[in-house]
Amino acid sequence: MVLQKIVKYGARWDINNHQGIISLLYDSGDWQHLTVKDPMEFFVIVDLLRNEKPILYDDQKIHVMTSAEKVGEEES
């Protein structure tokens, strides 16, 4: 498992092809582009990227996730 810390993202919805494209910038300087067909899944991923910190990407499991946080901790 290789975890990448996400430092920036971009998101767009392709109306013609009915899919979302999420671009992730890692702290290594590399970009990854994910295609998401399900609008709700797209919304959930963008919501995580927008509201959580720090956020990581697991390139083997293909997961976008937060790191371990204390319950009720305020975002910094």
| Domain assignment of residue 60, yes or no | no
Q: Which domain holds residue 22?
A: 1-39
What percentage of the chain exceeds 70 in pLDDT? 92
For position 32, what pLDDT does the model report? 93
| Domain assignment of residue 66, yes or no | no
| Domain assignment of residue 16, yes or no | yes
Number of domains into which the chain is organized: 1
CA distance 63 to 5: 12
For position 76, what pLDDT does the model report? 56
Per-residue pLDDT tens over the stretch 6-43: 999 999 999 999 999 999 999 999 999 999 999 999 99
| Domain assignment of residue 54, yes or no | no
Confidence of residue 65 (pLDDT cuts 50, 70, 90): very high
Q: Which carries the bigger pLDDT value, residue 39 or residue 1?
A: 39
| Domain assignment of residue 27, yes or no | yes
| Domain assignment of residue 45, yes or no | no
**Residue keyed to tokens 């499991």:** 61
CA distance 14 to 64: 21
For position 69, what pLDDT does the model report? 73
CA distance 13 to 40: 12
CA distance 24 to 21: 10
Tokens of 46: 């963008």
